[in-house]
Structure 1
Amino acid sequence: MAGKLNSATGSFSSPKGTGASRKGIDSRKGSVSSHSSGPKKVKKLNSLPISREINPKQQSEETCIANGGTEDAMYTPRTLSVLIVLLAVFLFMVRYCHYLDMDVVSSVKLGLAASGVSFIAFGATHLPDSMLLRPHPSFWRAVLAVGVLYLALLSFLLFQSLDTIRAILLLHDPSLKSLPEERQYAEDCRIFTSDDPFLFVRTTFDIFIVAHTLGYFAKTIIVRDWRASTCISVVFEIVEVTFQHALPNFKECWWDHLLLDVLICNGGGTLLGILALRIFHARRYNWVLSDNVKSKCGKARRFISQLVPQSLVPYEWNVFLSPKRFVQFLLLLSLMTLQELNTFTVKHILHIPPKHHLVVLRLVMWLFLAIPAVCEYYFYISGLDPTNKLGPSVWVSVVNLLFEVVLAGKLAVEGNYFQEPMPGYIAIPWIISLISLCIWFAIFFGVLTLKQRMEKRCLLYAISSVFFYFGCGCVLAMFAMGMPDLQIGREAFQRYVYPYERYIIFWR
């Protein structure tokens, strides 16, 4: 292919050294834009203004079809083929999966599954493309379709009572009738016991160790920055201590919080993610069109390489560059933490076991939905998206998260869950910390210039640092007092602060 396609802007550029004019034809819209070797400006393509070229150092190669990829058979639209396959699958289901003597519940399950498959097939064919290409654009369109289906499900559940939702879950899985046993992780915090030396190993190392490691490997791949992944890990441990009065499952020993979770599981997953980022960032493939690969071994290698990303360029979040950038990253951190918190609150209210397939399927859905969502969000806040609007994956993800929060709050009120007030040794340090961090934010971003922030020498910078570390120290003190086995300083704090607690937390 003579011209190369810039997938982020949708523009075609002629190769260097050619004086003949070229024509770039958009296959979806049918619009034609003429190009020449001279500096002729492209006005519009796909009805979107082309404002600027994206810096190739910032642009992930996943967003580009290299070497004329639009002519590759791998990326050729297959709308008619999908239609034929969908029809064949439905005929097979009607013939071999549906029986006249099926009960109502089984028939409804089969019908809902067929409805979901048909919508996913439509979405994989006609929904808007993501910025990601590997393993295939239709895969990410199907992921977006699953997110839309989940949004429709949440919209339906918002208008059902707690008893109705539990009845629906019992129709889906009658085993949910029995209450799940919530494992308590802080009953015995001894690392070694003489009567049972292997008690620590048996009670600690379970399937959730692997789940934590794989989860933070995936988070590192999603955010593409080890510092952001570590922030998510530390913040969620703080969230666990903060809300352990409402969710007893959050009560853990000190070594479970710090050693197993932060260092071994989450830290190990983050290190594996960093290794994957470095491998795929440094790796370069000599991509050729699949039609040009003649040998069977070559086609097999081409197919396998299609399943992995061409590169994983790290994201440059630049958290402290500007107040806007700081808030944007803080929003991402809050949403990712909120997704994890929703997992525990919803399954606690609906009495769903942690290993149930519904919990696993939801986490898998969020894993694949977060990959294009974070990519689109990063391009949007970095000014690299020529459309200058949130992508569809970001929009669907944010709405799903907010709907989950609304649903959890509604069900908690109906079932009288989470009624116990937050203890003073948790709430008061948080109040002081938030006030201190707000003062730091005002000085650091409102008073100091970018040059002063970079030099780190002036008096105001030192004052802002005092407020920052004081706020972090309050959170650390809350964490130390909140751990159920250590309770460092809790008794002294309650003794001195209890007489003034009603004035500090006056809204109770």
Structure 2
Amino acid sequence: MKKRQVKDIVADLLRKPHSSTLLAISTCFISSVAVARDNSISQQNNILTGMCYVMLFCFVNSGLRSYDGPFIRPHPALWRCVFGCSVAYLALLLFVLFQDYATIRAIVIFFFPDAKNFNNDMIEGTWSEDCYPVTLDNIWSNMDIYVVSHLLGWSLKATVVRHYGVVWTMSVMWEVTELLFIHLLPMLAECWWDIIVIDMLISNGIGIFIGMQACRWLEVREYKWESIKDPSPSDSKTGCSQSRSPTPSSGVHAHWMDVNSRYMRVLYVSVMVVSSSMVDLNAFLLKHVLQLPIGSLFHPGRLCCWMATAAPTISQVHLYVTDRRCERLGLQVCVSIWVLLTEVLVCVKHDREFFQRAAVANLLVWLALHIALTGCCLWLCEVWNQRSAGVEVRTGGRGHGSVGMRRGDETNHRRARKSLR
């Protein structure tokens, strides 16, 4: 990545290393602030200021010395800082994981004073009240700031996933997640028309459309999750690869542990969809376990961190799943998985009685639906791409499914059979 050439550089100054200059500027800035600042203001202010400068040092160090991510625009240093942000959040979660609940509450109240007099019993009502009669006034009354936030969130998620089928699978499975986890989190309960009309059609649907149109406007590469990249001999010198769909006609046996197998590809994409649902679900679980108010700054801060790390994470997952030349997952993917699992561990450890009420059957159904819906999505997308390319799909063939010949070849085959007769 460091030797990768970047075309159409507008500001050549930003593409040259400036380690010594940045080190001198940051050292002078931190030294001047540390000497001139009055430390007698308050203990809370001192701790917050110190942590801000710790994060600043992490960003500077990551921007200079961290590994390059999958993107070079607008600048590789930006994505190095994103990686440093995810590592810093992981370090915070690991610290919280090994504390007792009283210490965690003290930390939460220290950083978010509004949480001092807040508890989960103060949440009044749910969105499942007054579902009938179904009127325009009733629907309009539920159009609040959360609709705008959901629309913006799904727009960003569509620009990251870059695939209508997969992102719509994530959208449907999140609504299913809400239904299957209502017994744990009553705040997830919604009216049926709220789920279908406001959430799926308005917020998610319009947001996904805006995100995909933004990808076309920015001319970014669309991700093909249903196909793999098979470098041909003619492309070996240029390093290019062509996208194709694995078919039984290729003569390659589909192994379960082979990344090129369609079964493993379904499994990997299913894990990605499950992880997307878990990221959204952890927001509600952390709010419940840590007893944070709805207006706490922790929620938008966590959301910004996840949205920043989602772009390189999804890009590395797509490269690993679809490119034969990629032999291992990227480091950003590993850090994101650690962050996700650590969030779950923090919730489970500090409120075990809450999770003991979880229905195991609902969890199994949740996982099974993720795998089934993801498999159907990839299969339908593969069939659609083949038909769009002029390939007819035959039924009743051997193996896992047979792909028909092109129309011209099929016509010649029929003529040959007639001549033999």
- Judge same fold: TM > 0.5, yes or no: yes
> Partners of 1:384 and 1:135 in 2: how far apart?
27
For residues 267-305 of structure 1, what are the alpha-carbon distances to aligned partners after superposition, in whole Å with 9 as ceiling and x for unaligned? 000000111122122xxxxxxxxxxxxxxxxxxxxxxxx
Identity of aligned residues (%): 26
> Partners of 1:271 and 1:257 in 2: how far apart?
18
| TM-superposed deviation, 1:374 | 0.8
Long gaps (5+) in structure 2: 228-244, 247-261, 380-385, 402-421
Counterpart residue number, 1:273? 211
1:109 aligns with 2:17: no
In structure 2, relative to structure 1, the CA distance for the partners of 1:200 and 1:371 (3 Å cut) is: same
For residues 66-90 of structure 1, what are the alpha-carbon distances to aligned partners after superposition, in whole Å with 9 as ceiling and x for unaligned? 15x5992221112122212212331
Given the alignment, which residue of 235, 242, 249 partners 2:180? 242
> Partners of 1:423 and 1:397 in 2: how far apart?
26
Opposite residue 301 of structure 2, the aligned amino acid is L
> Partners of 1:130 and 1:227 in 2: how far apart?
26
Counterpart residue number, 2:98? 159
In structure 2, relative to structure 1, the CA distance for the partners of 1:456 and 1:337 (3 Å cut) is: farther
> Partners of 1:432 and 1:315 in 2: how far apart?
24
For residues 101-147 of structure 1, what are the alpha-carbon distances to aligned partners after superposition, in whole Å with 9 as ceiling and x for unaligned? 23333222222221111111110111011111122111111111111
Given the alignment, which residue of 305, 317, 329 partners 1:365? 305
> Partners of 1:423 and 1:394 in 2: how far apart?
28
User: Normalization by structure 1: what TM-score?
Assistant: 0.63
For residues 365-394 of structure 1, what are the alpha-carbon distances to aligned partners after superposition, in whole Å with 9 as ceiling and x for unaligned? 1001010111111112222666x3222211
Give 1:37-76 correspondences, 5 Å limit. 65-66=6-7, 69=9, 72-76=12-16
Counterpart residue number, 2:357? 420
Give 1:297-316 correspondences, 5 Å limit. 312-316=220-224
> Partners of 1:108 and 1:313 in 2: how far apart?
44
In structure 2, relative to structure 1, the CA distance for the partners of 1:140 and 1:207 (3 Å cut) is: same
Given the alignment, which residue of 252, 260, 264 partners 2:202? 264
Give 1:107-506 correspondences, 5 Å limit. 107-179=46-118, 181-182=122-123, 183-190=125-132, 198=137, 200-202=139-141, 204-281=142-219, 312-318=220-226, 322-383=262-323, 388-413=327-352, 416-422=353-359, 430=365, 455-458=393-396
> Partners of 1:391 and 1:211 in 2: how far apart?
30
Long gaps (5+) in structure 1: 1-6, 11-25, 27-62, 282-311, 445-450, 464-508
> Partners of 1:147 and 1:423 in 2: how far apart?
31
1:85 aligns with 2:25: yes
In structure 2, relative to structure 1, the CA distance for the partners of 1:132 and 1:95 (3 Å cut) is: same
Bigger relative CO (Cα 8 Å, ≥ 6 apart): 2
Opposite residue 188 of structure 1, the aligned amino acid is D
Is residue 70–residue 76 contact of structure 1 (8 Å, CA) maintained in 2? Answer: no
| TM-superposed deviation, 1:423 | 9.4
For residues 395-451 of structure 1, what are the alpha-carbon distances to aligned partners after superposition, in whole Å with 9 as ceiling and x for unaligned? 2111111111111111121xx224435398x579x39967x959x99xx9xxxxxx9
Is residue 44–residue 110 contact of structure 2 (8 Å, CA) maintained in 1? Answer: yes
| TM-superposed deviation, 1:191 | 5.2
Is residue 62–residue 80 contact of structure 2 (8 Å, CA) maintained in 1? Answer: yes
Opposite residue 247 of structure 1, the aligned amino acid is L
Is residue 244–residue 251 contact of structure 1 (8 Å, CA) maintained in 2? Answer: yes
User: Normalization by structure 2: what TM-score?
Assistant: 0.76
> Partners of 1:460 and 1:191 in 2: how far apart?
53
Please report the RMSD computed on the Cα atoms of aligned residues, expressed in angstroms. Answer: 3.3
> Partners of 1:423 and 1:362 in 2: how far apart?
28
Structure with max Cα Rg: 1
Helix, strand or coil for the counterpart of 1:455?
A: strand
Helix, strand or coil for the counterpart of 1:252?
A: coil
Opposite residue 110 of structure 1, the aligned amino acid is T
For residues 164-197 of structure 1, what are the alpha-carbon distances to aligned partners after superposition, in whole Å with 9 as ceiling and x for unaligned? 111111111221112264351011113557xxx8
| TM-superposed deviation, 1:364 | 0.4
> Partners of 1:313 and 1:81 in 2: how far apart?
35
Is residue 154–residue 400 contact of structure 1 (8 Å, CA) maintained in 2? Answer: yes
> Partners of 2:308 and 2:64 in 1: how far apart?
18
Is residue 191–residue 200 contact of structure 1 (8 Å, CA) maintained in 2? Answer: no
> Partners of 2:45 and 2:329 in 1: how far apart?
40
Deviates more, 1:130-139 or 1:212-221: 130-139
> Partners of 1:163 and 1:432 in 2: how far apart?
34
